[in-house]
Structure 1
Amino acid sequence: MPATGVQVTYNIPSVEIFDRDLEAVKAESGQEVKVYYESRRNVWGEMLLTILPFALIIGVWLLIMRNMSRGSAGAGGGIFNVGKAKAQMFDKDSTVKTTFKDVAGLEEAKVEIMEVVEFLRNPQKYKDLGGKIPKGVLLVGPPGTGKTLLAKAVAGEANVPFFSISGSDFVEMFVGVGASRVRDLFRQAKEKAPCIVFIDEIDAIGRARSRNVGFSSNDERENTLNQLLTEMDGFGTNSGVIVLAATNRADILDKALMRAGRFDRQIEVGLPELNERREIFDVHLRGLKLAPDLDRDFLAKQTPGFSGADIANVCNEAALIAARKSKNFIDKQDFLDAIDRIVGGLERKSVIITPEEKRMIAFHEAGHATVSWKLENANPLLKVTIIPRGKALGAAWYLPDERHLTTREQFMDEMAAALGGRASELINFNKLSTGAMNDLEKVTKAAYAMVAYYGMGSKTGNISYYDSTGQNDMSFTKPYSEKTAQEIDYEVRTIIDEAMEMAKKTLEDNREGLTRLAELLLEREVIFTEDVERILGKRKKDVEAGKPSAGEKTAEAGQTVSGEKSSPETGESISGIGNHVA
């Protein structure tokens, strides 16, 4: 390269193109241009392109490991902690404020649970007498009766660590995770012993193992159950760890899980009785602005068969209804409307009913009212309405007796009352409608229960095919022969026909009262106990017991009964126009 003269450095994209363009310039200018070619490498660029992919891979890997290390502090965090138990731990410094004072009713259950808590607080008192702490307590009962609430109260009362986990938290798509979480849960519990482990909805992992054989069996679930059985009463010891579990499906639990030594105690948490419902109302009415004259005993009487969750829903619904009406406090009528709303469904004011249909519905409901009023063993009638509510176009409301035994006579009277609507249609219109579908469903189930479960059939005799263990749920065959099945069908048909004849005879004997009730229903759309008593007279059972009439009780309470809003009481709907199908 020359040391003098004009020097130009140029980065060319292509040598061939540059040479062609240079020759053209030389020919045009007539000057000679010396060209020196030099090849250079972009070392730093090449290094960057080489290192950058590896740097990105290492950075992503470090980020993942950092997040995993953060997650290891909490249960279930990170991929390597998938086998860790997701139990939530509460201790004496936790924020659980629920105590046994917040659990109304359930006195027997609270005594049993409180004894377990007392053992953990003062174990020496029991050990001095040679007593051993129970390993497991199983809470069994229908949904909404307060099983989980009772466990929360234990967490609030106990001065020991309390681990809470759901049965579904053990189930995972990865093989071996459930068993690993069970081991980790009991490892944590042993470190905190004495303590309580609460497993909610234990049927998610405790289902009987033999029931799934050959039918989409879940080995992972069975492995989880096996590990739970081993931890509760295996070769190792879990001193000071009490397992508290809740389920509403105790019949499907594995027998090995239910035996003594694992769950030593089974506590039945059933539907509340009258006094217990009063206590539950006291709990849920604490934060509500109530009318001064609200009778809580009255509310308890109007909610037979309601669980604690249902009563909480009634109180909340009553508050919403009162707020919707811009009231300053919640009165009795708001609670009655709330019960109607929960039991019967939302009132449907937009339903268009023809006069012919409305008349048939009125006679249908009057038939229910007449038969149930005249038959001695039928449930006491409280209200009859032809206002559409929910899926029903009308309903007869009763207050069922809270009894534990039911006789054949009571079955027959109640079935006759349920068939009173269809019998009234036949007597007054000589027609059948789809309105009795719900009644027929209830009557059929009751008749089959009488014959197949309670041994009340005249031909089948004292035989029950009810399986309380639930072992025959997966069976493809019935536990009786075809001939016996025919006899059961014949018995059921005979019982239903007998109940239908009872309903027809009762309506024929009280034809005038039936017509007056139906006309009153067409006029008011709602009638009450006082109206039925005025037309049909006092019930035979009330006359024998010397009870005051409904009108006398209403007069004493200073109430009126003209119109729907002045209803003194309401109850649970167990009969009425059912789903209408074309």
Structure 2
Amino acid sequence: MNEVKTPKKPFIYYLIIAATIMILLNTLVFPNVLKHQVKEVGYNVFMQMTNNQEIGSVNITDSEIFFTNKDNSQMYKTGVINDPELVDRLYKAGATFSTEITEEMSPIVYLLLGYVLPIFIFVALGRWLSKKMMSKMSDGANPMNSMMFGTKSNAKIYVKSTSGIKFSDVAGEEEAKELLTEIVDFLHNPGKYQEIGASMPKGALLVGPPGTGKTLLAKAVAGEANVPFFSISGSEFVEMFVGMGAAKVRDLFKQASEKAPCIVFIDEIDAVGKKRDGRIGGNDEREQTLNQLLTEMDGFDGSKGVVILAATNQPDSLDPALLRPGRFDRRIPVELPDLQGRVDILKVHAKKIKLADNVDFNAIARAASGASGAELANIVNEAALHAVRCGRKFATQADLMESVEVVIAGYQKKNRILSDKEKLIVSYHEVGHALVAAMQTNSAPVQKITIIPRTSGALGYTMQVEEGEHFLMNKTEMENKIATFTGGRAAEELIFGEITTGASNDIEQATKFARAMITRYGMNEEFDMVAMESVSNQYLGGDSSLTCSMETQTLIDQKVVQLVKEQHQKAKKILEDNVMKLHEIAKFLYEHETITGEEFMEILNSDSQKIIEEKQQ
């Protein structure tokens, strides 16, 4: 859509204009006028300057001679004396003959230009600013705030456009689009809702993790409805001076009422809409801005077609008064896309690049499990960039899979060269993960194993990809996942009898899963179905805090250690039972640095020599 920004002209703006005018007058106009003042000298000075070839231009009249110096910075005049050879001497001295005669400026003109004109400019500017301030006072705004700092809202206005974003440009959020379609229909056909007595919700709150397309959905609503779209961030309301944010809220809703039907979108509304705690010494400006927002949402008539949309990824922190019916009536979740949603999003973004005919979007979507819409768009773009680096004119399946790995683990760090010993340890470590995962039931299949370092700091990694979409995990699956995390360290202990720092992330993940099983999922017989932990900010990674006594926390720690130990021992047992395959696969990985899931399973179920011969061919 075409963006039109509302101009904002505070008092300092006009001061700068006035200062600029005076600087231009003093540097361009006045010097050019004043330099034409003529200095009267004797004829001997004129002759001396002629002999020294210091004359620039000269004009000889019947009674006077006007001349300048070489750089024409000063005009002189002297009387005329009968001198027949004067013209020849001037010609030999390099003087230029000019017919232009510059008279000396009148002192009255100099006074007008130097003093009266600047005073007139400032008086005129002052009268104009006074009128502006009076008009602001008649509108009920604080004139000093308006003129000095500007209280006009910073909302960006996207006007009607046939090339705007539509619902077809948004994929993977079908439920959210269905709920928002009703708002679009109301803006188009308000009569059928009013006929039955129904009123449209005044506001809809879009909640979800970052990158899921909340802002894109709001623009799509405006594009489908083909109405003006006001967009502003919540942080733009918060100002240093008390009352400024509230004035901006008033101005925003005033503009919206004038352009109704329209949509007002407030992004990151948690910046101004957080819960009021009532403590003295808080941010009075933020609370006044929130109070004004609540008042404005109560005051405007929803039947005019003004719809308020807002987005946040911290819904738990919003003030309850903001979420009550009559303000933000409808809460629309914009969650991470499922498998089919990821496929649809990839297809939408893939239209912008050239692709090979054999691209399997389903395989890419399964490998990118848990990715947001923004991350999927980045994956497609990274694939196109990778294809260009490889000299191809279109992106292939391999480019897309590599871009998934780039988003997950970073770029390949080709300048980091591991020693032979480190390379061997990393090979056994990664194969330990893969072998433990493969030998357990209810475990995701291995997609790829590599020991090429990445920019994220990983010296290697094992990629597991689920065959389908899973929304629940049972106790056995979680225990198997913990065992898989400990498989790398178990392989190091079994083969080298030493442990390294390479398992730091594995330890963190295994501990996280084990603690969640006990404190949140009720997967421990002793605690049964009692929650020992609460989670806040679920859309921003989830901050957990224990809600139990110190004695219980100590017991939880013991249970976590016991659970991880049990799975660690299970991983060791699996590797001991399959130690020959561990050696065989680790040797293959050490030599080739990367193994695909198919190659891994073939070596596991047959002989590696056949795989080596096929690679050489």
Find out whether 1:170 has 2:223 as its counterpart. Answer: no
Per-residue Cα deviation, 1:493-542 (whole angstroms, up to 9, x for no partner): 1111111111111111111111111111111111121222123339xxxx
Is the 1:367–1:423 Cα contact (8 Å) retained in structure 2?
yes
Looking at secondary structure, tell me which structure has more strand per residue.
Answer: 2
Find out whether 1:562 has 2:608 as its counterpart. Answer: no
Q: Quote how far apart the aligned CAs of 1:489 are.
A: 0.7
Find out whether 1:394 has 2:463 as its counterpart. Answer: no
Closer/same/farther in 2, CA of residues 96 and 561 from structure 1, 3 Å limit? farther
Find out whether 1:197 has 2:250 as its counterpart. Answer: no
For 2:313 and 2:307, how far apart are their aligned partners in 1? 20
For 2:584 and 2:410, how far apart are their aligned partners in 1? 28
For 2:372 and 2:387, how far apart are their aligned partners in 1? 23
Find out whether 1:136 has 2:200 as its counterpart. Answer: no
Q: Tell me which residue corresponds to 1:38.
A: none
Q: Quote how far apart the aligned CAs of 1:137 are.
A: 0.7
Per-residue Cα deviation, 1:21-44 (whole angstroms, up to 9, x for no partner): xxxxxxxxxxxxxxxxxxxxxx98
Per-residue Cα deviation, 1:385-418 (whole angstroms, up to 9, x for no partner): 1111121111001114532222111111001001
Closer/same/farther in 2, CA of residues 524 and 469 from structure 1, 3 Å limit? closer
Q: Tell me which residue corresponds to 1:7.
A: none
One-letter amino acid of the counterpart of residue 508, structure 1: E
**Equivalent residue for 2:387, pick from 313, 319, 322:** 322
| Other structure's SS at 1:352 match | coil
Q: Tell me which residue corresponds to 2:329.
A: 264
Closer/same/farther in 2, CA of residues 63 and 523 from structure 1, 3 Å limit? farther
Q: Tell me which residue corresponds to 2:37.
A: none
Find out whether 1:220 has 2:285 as its counterpart. Answer: yes
Q: Quote how far apart the aligned CAs of 1:382 are.
A: 0.6
Q: Quote how far apart the aligned CAs of 1:484 are.
A: 0.9
Q: Quote how far apart the aligned CAs of 1:329 are.
A: 1.8
| Other structure's SS at 1:375 match | coil
Q: Tell me which residue corresponds to 1:284.
A: 349
Q: Quote how far apart the aligned CAs of 1:300 are.
A: 2.5
| Other structure's SS at 2:337 match | coil
Q: Which runs of 5+ in 1 are unaligned?
A: 1-42, 539-553, 555-559, 567-582
Q: Tell me which residue corresponds to 1:12.
A: none
Q: Tell me which residue corresponds to 2:58.
A: none
Is the 1:105–1:280 Cα contact (8 Å) retained in structure 2?
yes
For 1:199 and 1:103, how far apart are their aligned partners in 2? 19
TM-score normalised by length of structure 2? 0.73
5 Å-filtered alignment, 1:431-450, equals 431-450=498-517
Q: Tell me which residue corresponds to 2:577.
A: 509
5 Å-filtered alignment, 1:236-251, equals 237-240=301-304, 241-251=306-316
Find out whether 1:332 has 2:385 as its counterpart. Answer: no
For 1:561 and 1:311, how far apart are their aligned partners in 2? 34
One-letter amino acid of the counterpart of residue 299, structure 1: I
Find out whether 1:55 has 2:119 as its counterpart. Answer: yes
Is the 1:252–1:469 Cα contact (8 Å) retained in structure 2?
no
5 Å-filtered alignment, 1:393-472, equals 393-400=459-466, 402-468=469-535
Q: Tell me which residue corresponds to 2:153.
A: 85
For 1:268 and 1:531, how far apart are their aligned partners in 2? 41
Q: Quote how far apart the aligned CAs of 1:372 are.
A: 0.6
Is the 2:204–2:328 Cα contact (8 Å) retained in structure 1?
yes
5 Å-filtered alignment, 1:542-557, equals none
Q: Tell me which residue corresponds to 2:551.
A: 483
Q: Which stretches of structure 1, 4 residues or longer, exceed 6 Å deviation after superposition? A: 43-50, 66-69
Q: Tell me which residue corresponds to 2:410.
A: 345
Is the 1:460–1:484 Cα contact (8 Å) retained in structure 2?
no
Closer/same/farther in 2, CA of residues 448 and 60 from structure 1, 3 Å limit? farther
Is the 2:534–2:547 Cα contact (8 Å) retained in structure 1?
no
For 2:614 and 2:295, how far apart are their aligned partners in 1? 65
Per-residue Cα deviation, 1:102-148 (whole angstroms, up to 9, x for no partner): 11121111111111011011011111111111111111111111111
Q: Number of aligned pairs?
A: 492
Q: Tell me which residue corresponds to 2:446.
A: 381
Is the 2:176–2:333 Cα contact (8 Å) retained in structure 1?
yes
Is the 2:536–2:544 Cα contact (8 Å) retained in structure 1?
no
For 1:222 and 1:171, how far apart are their aligned partners in 2? 9
Per-residue Cα deviation, 1:59-79 (whole angstroms, up to 9, x for no partner): 79659949989xx9xxx9973
Find out whether 1:253 has 2:324 as its counterpart. Answer: no
**Equivalent residue for 2:427, pick from 314, 339, 362:** 362
The higher relative CO (CA closer than 8 Å, separation ≥ 6) is in 1
| Other structure's SS at 2:172 match | coil
TM-score normalised by length of structure 1? 0.78
Closer/same/farther in 2, CA of residues 337 and 469 from structure 1, 3 Å limit? closer
Higher mean alpha-carbon deviation, 512-521 vs 298-307, is at 298-307
Is the 1:91–1:161 Cα contact (8 Å) retained in structure 2?
yes
Q: Tell me which residue corresponds to 1:541.
A: none
| Other structure's SS at 2:231 match | strand
5 Å-filtered alignment, 1:110-149, equals 110-149=177-216
One-letter amino acid of the counterpart of residue 315, structure 1: V
Closer/same/farther in 2, CA of residues 251 and 477 from structure 1, 3 Å limit? closer
| Other structure's SS at 2:326 match | coil
Q: Quote how far apart the aligned CAs of 1:45 are.
A: 12
Q: Tell me which residue corresponds to 1:229.
A: 294
Closer/same/farther in 2, CA of residues 263 and 293 from structure 1, 3 Å limit? same
For 1:516 and 1:113, how far apart are their aligned partners in 2? 56
For 1:467 and 1:68, how far apart are their aligned partners in 2? 55
Is the 1:105–1:272 Cα contact (8 Å) retained in structure 2?
yes
Q: Quote how far apart the aligned CAs of 1:91 are.
A: 3.6
| Other structure's SS at 1:562 match | helix
| Other structure's SS at 1:165 match | strand
| Other structure's SS at 1:460 match | coil
Is the 2:534–2:544 Cα contact (8 Å) retained in structure 1?
no
| Other structure's SS at 1:209 match | coil
Is the 1:384–1:527 Cα contact (8 Å) retained in structure 2?
yes
Q: Quote how far apart the aligned CAs of 1:197 are.
A: 1.0
Closer/same/farther in 2, CA of residues 298 and 403 from structure 1, 3 Å limit? closer
Identity of aligned residues (%): 45
One-letter amino acid of the counterpart of residue 398, structure 1: Q
Closer/same/farther in 2, CA of residues 61 and 303 from structure 1, 3 Å limit? same
| Other structure's SS at 1:383 match | strand
Closer/same/farther in 2, CA of residues 250 and 519 from structure 1, 3 Å limit? same
Q: Quote how far apart the aligned CAs of 1:272 are.
A: 1.3
Higher mean alpha-carbon deviation, 299-308 vs 55-64, is at 55-64
Q: Quote how far apart the aligned CAs of 1:491 are.
A: 1.1
Is the 2:264–2:309 Cα contact (8 Å) retained in structure 1?
yes
One-letter amino acid of the counterpart of residue 365, structure 1: E
Q: Quote how far apart the aligned CAs of 1:370 are.
A: 0.5
Q: Quote how far apart the aligned CAs of 1:55 are.
A: 2.9
Q: Tell me which residue corresponds to 2:71.
A: none
Closer/same/farther in 2, CA of residues 510 and 213 from structure 1, 3 Å limit? farther
Closer/same/farther in 2, CA of residues 425 and 55 from structure 1, 3 Å limit? same
